[in-house]
Structure formats: C-alpha cells, structure tokens
Amino acid sequence: MPDKVDEFLNWTWSQIEPIFQDLQQRPLDEDNIEVWLSEWSDISKLLDESYWRLYNATAMDTCDKAAEEKYTRFLDEIQPQVKSAEQELKEKLLASGISPHGYQIPLRDMRAQADLYRDENLPLLSEEKKLIVEYYKIMGAQMVPWAGKQIPLPMLQPVYQERDRERREEAWRLVAARQLEDRQALNDLWGKFLELRQSIAAHADLPNYRAYRWQELLRFDYSPEDCYQFHQAIQEVVVPAAQALYEKRRQRLGVNSLRPWDIYVDPFGMPALKPFTTSQELIANSANIFSQVLPLFGQYFEQMRREGYLDLENRANKAPGGFCSHYKYSKQVFIFMNAVGIHDDVQTVLHEGGHAFQAFECGHLPYFFLEIPSEFAEVASMSMELLASPYLEADQGGFYSPGESARARIQYLESMLLFWPYMAVVDAFQHWVYENHEAACDASNCDTRWVQLWEQFMPGVDWGGLEQEVSTGWQRKPHIFDEPFYYIEYGQAQLGSVQIWRNSLQDKSSAVAAYRRALALGTSVTLPQLYAAAGARFTFDAATLQQAVDTILEAISDLEMVIG
C-alpha cells in the first residue's frame, strides 16, 4: 500500500492489481476473515477517496483541463477494473458462506449488488459519469450580464430577495431566458441518458431502469407503492397547508397574484438577511453553532477548517451546489458549496455539517461499509439544521438579532413544508419517466408530464405566461440527471428530522444523544432500526405527516410573535 493518497492518485492499474490478486488468491476461513476484510477495506477506502478527490478537483474548477483528464483517466482505466476486481472479492466472500460479526447488512447489500452486476455494464456506467460531467458543463457555463459584468446564475440569488419587485422580475427573467437557451442541448443529453439507462437495466435482466435503480440504491425497506402512498399523503396533508402559506405570503406582500419572483423576498418587507460577508465569518459562526448543539461537533468542524477541507465560497467556473464527501482512507471530510452571503448558505453549512459529523462518527467502524443509507444520511443533515436553529442568534455565537433569527427560522420551516409537494413532483416525474421509456425519450412528453404534476402539487403560485419556464423545470433539477430517484430521501428524511427535532423540544440532551448514537451505527442495522435509534419512525402515512406539519406550523406561529 502507498504511504500517501497523493502518490496513489498517479498509480496505474498494473500497480493496483496485485493487491486485489493477493486478496483473491488467499483461502478464506473463520480465523483469517477479519484480517482479509480489513485489508480489502483499506484498498477500497483508498480507491473511494481517490475517486472523490479527483471528482472534487473538477468541481472546484470546471475549466481545469488537467483535473478533468485525471478524473477521466480514473473513470476509464481504473474504475472499471476495480469494479470487476471488487466483484470477484464479493463473490468470493459470498461463496465462502462466512458471515463476519456485524457484517450482515453489508452482506445483504453485496448479495443484491452481485445480483445486479454485469461486466457489459461497466463501460456504460463510465459513459453515464461522463454525461453527468457534460450536464454540469452546460449548467456551469450559464452566465448572464448583470450590473456591467458576466456573472454565474447563482450570484443572482440575492436579487430575488430584494424588495424592488421589478428588479426581482428582471433578474428572474434574465436567468430563465439564459436557461432556455440550453433547452435543446439538455433535451439531446437527456435522450442519451435514457438510452444508456435502458440498456443498463436490460443488461441486468430487469424490466426497467427503476427496478435497476431500486436495487442499486439498496432500497430494501420500501417499494414504489410506498412512494405513491407518500405522494398521496402529501397531496392530502401538505398541499393545502402549502397553499395557505402562499396565500398568506401574497397578502403580506400586497400583490394580486404571487409570481415565481415573489417566493424568496421577505414577506414582512424587511431587507434580505445578510448573515456574513466573508467565508471566514461563515466558518467561525457555524463552528460556534455546532458547538452549542454538542461541543464535539464544533471540534469536528474546527478540524476541517484547520486542515483545509472547507471550500465554501461561490466563484466563476465552480460546479453548482453543495455536498460533503468523506475521504475514508485519510479519515477527512470535505465540504463543497457556493456561498454568496445569503441565509441559504448558513442553512447549507448546517446541512453539510450534519453529513460531515456522521462521517466522523462512523470513522470507528472496522470495515469499509458500503453506504450509509441515503434515507438516513439526510436525516443526519436535516436534523442538524433543526437542532442548530435555536443558536442562530449572535448572542448564541450565530449570525442574527432575535428578530432576524425568527425570520430566518420561519423562512426555513416554511421552505420545509413547501418542499414536500415539490419533492412529490420530482419523484412522481421519475416514476413516470422510467415506467414509460418510449414516451419519455421525447422530451416534449416530459414537459407535459412535468406540467401536469406541477399543477397537481404546486398550486398557489401564478406561472401564467411562463409556460416554457414551467415545462422545462425538470431540466434544472440536477438529481434527475445525476442521481436518478435520489430525491424522495429528502422528503422521508424531513419527516424523520422533524420527529427528532420534536423530541429535542421536550428534552434536548437526550434527543441529541440519540441522534449521535444513530449516526455512529453506520450501516450495521436496517433503516427502520436507524430511525428507531434516533428516536423516530420510518413511515409514509398521512397521520405522521400531519403531526410533523402541525409541529412546523406551531413553531412558525410562535416565531411570528417574536417579530410582532
């Protein structure tokens, strides 16, 4: 094994292969299984970390040709070989019939993956990664002229919060027009994604890509029918509450109809929150807030700052979005995001902080656990946003006056509630796409389906005259391109995190302790067991959703009293 990850990044397959050959050739028994598993874990961690380091370099500078080449080389020359070598090891372990202590869930996952694995899919999966890079290249190149210079689209977000309605509309329309310029390019790319995904599913002898993805995402604890039940519960419980929130906003703003550029402005007529001006401030105050939730969380974040694992501020040629990646070999955690000085950025740091702390808490687990179930990874991140919310005030180490903090929290709680219907659109859209491959290959059918769902779940905002902008909404949802079906997790996790937050309103220290215990379990237990450990229930029913909506609405009305 190499001493340093940096050195390993330059290794060719011929240098890596002997490590796998050695593992493959060694006879397995109950006595040596743990050593064998931990050696395999080491090389897996190293490769996983390499992937993320190379990918992150392309995200940090989408114009860095050398970074793109290294990433592409890894995808072409290393990753397919590794997948096939790991596959052989999984088969070897499964064939041995040995069930190492604490490894039942990873074994269950491996069985599913072994089942799904096909040699002929390896080049297709690499091809898919390249299409994803292509998607982000199109999105990342979108710039508009504003105040005399060309700027990336996310930099206009603060304008949507300004009080001048005409200026908000001008910015909104400028962005929308720029996005529509890429409509055809994205439609073309979409067709390539769908063909590729159809072939991937067919190779795996599955009826459609949804069935493939279900197994790939290791969804053992719920079915597509459960998702439909969740959509239905959202329709019953959340859509009316969301519509009432939009109506309250319309009245507060004193406008005849609520337009898409009226969604982000403060409805009390206050100037937009400007929580920080430099990323140093963002980092320092976030560290204080994390410490208030639990001193250990503050220490983790401080470590990331000290060792250079925070890339928070927006700049040209940086991929959009925010995420957290776990460098499992060097036990480091990296947060990437595009801060521009608005409250959303604070929320993103708190969110990614939750992911980061889960990564740290899992660091003690002995083996390379395949994945934290994403339905629970998002519970980790979203619960952190809620658990941290009492400390947003400056006298708690945060960013705001009491009134500002109340506004920020109302905005967040409302956005949670408004998210569920949007999530239902994104999820239901994808169920339709992969159940109707032929129809979905024609992007105009996708436009039509998106509009139908939009009208069903998203009443309350007036999109009159903006038909093209509504119908292309799916093109601007990166998950649909780069993480198909990975979205309902956020909706489920919101429901989990509201339950954890509700517990903390009764007894903070025991709620945080249960939360941390659940983070440290990694994938050693099932999803419903993870929820239970955190003090929540993994469920999709209207009653639980209603209780969560009530908790949110009560908190909003308490916070409105602070504002007066």
User: Which residues of this chain interact with Zn ion, rule CB under 5 A?
Assistant: 381
Strands 310-313 and 332-339 turn out to be parallel
292-297 long-range contacts (CB < 8 A, ≥24 apart) are 292/388, 292/390, 292/391, 292/396, 292/397, 293/384, 293/387, 293/388, 293/391, 293/512, 294/512, 294/516, 297/353, 297/357, 297/384
- Residue 537: CB minimum distance to Zn ion, A: 21
- Residue 560: CB minimum distance to Zn ion, A: 28
- One-letter-per-residue 3-state SS of 159-228: HHHCCCHHHHHHHHHHHHHHHHHCHHHHHHHHHHHHHHHHHHHHHCCCCCHHHHHHHHCCCCCCCHHHHH
- Residue 352: CB minimum distance to Zn ion, A: 7
Look up residue 235 and give its DSSP letter.
I
Residue 9: φ, ψ to 5°: -60, -25
**Under 8 Å between Cβ of 56 and 326:** no
Question: Sign of the CA dihedral 459, 461, 467, 472?
Answer: negative
171/418 with CB nearer Zn ion? 418
- Residue 531: CB minimum distance to Zn ion, A: 17
**Residue the block writes with tokens 């507060």:** 252
**Residue the block writes with tokens 């119908």:** 471
- Residue 344: CB minimum distance to Zn ion, A: 14
Question: Would you state the structure tokens that stand for residue 253, as one six-digit string?
Answer: 């703003």
Q: Which helix (H) or strand (E) holds 347?
A: helix 343-362
Amino acid occupying residue 243: Q
Q: Write b or e for each residue in 456-466: b if 16 or more Cβ atoms lie within 10 A of its Cβ, otherwise e.
A: ebbebbbbeee
- Residue 256: CB minimum distance to Zn ion, A: 37
- Residue 378: CB minimum distance to Zn ion, A: 5
200/324 with CB nearer Zn ion? 324
245/335 with CB nearer Zn ion? 335
Question: Would you state the structure tokens that stand for residue 438, as one six-digit string?
Answer: 């032929």
Q: CB nearest Zn ion: which residue?
A: 381
- Residue 95: CB minimum distance to Zn ion, A: 36
Q: What is the DSSP string of 418-449?
A: HHHHHHHHHHHHHHHHHH-HHHHTSHHHHHHH
- Residue 517: CB minimum distance to Zn ion, A: 20
229/415 with CB nearer Zn ion? 415
10 Å Cβ neighbour count for 73? 15
381/411 with CB nearer Zn ion? 381
**Under 8 Å between Cβ of 400 and 394:** yes
10 Å Cβ neighbour count for 195? 13
179/381 with CB nearer Zn ion? 381
381/475 with CB nearer Zn ion? 381
- Residue 184: CB minimum distance to Zn ion, A: 31
Q: For the CA atoms of the chain, what is the radius of gyration?
A: 24
380/556 with CB nearer Zn ion? 380
263/380 with CB nearer Zn ion? 380
Q: What is the DSSP string of 61-130?
A: -TT-HHHHHHHHHIIIIIHHHHHHHHHHHHHHHHHHT---TT-HHHHHHHHHHHHH--GGGHHHHHHHHH
381/383 with CB nearer Zn ion? 381
347/381 with CB nearer Zn ion? 381
- Residue 260: CB minimum distance to Zn ion, A: 25
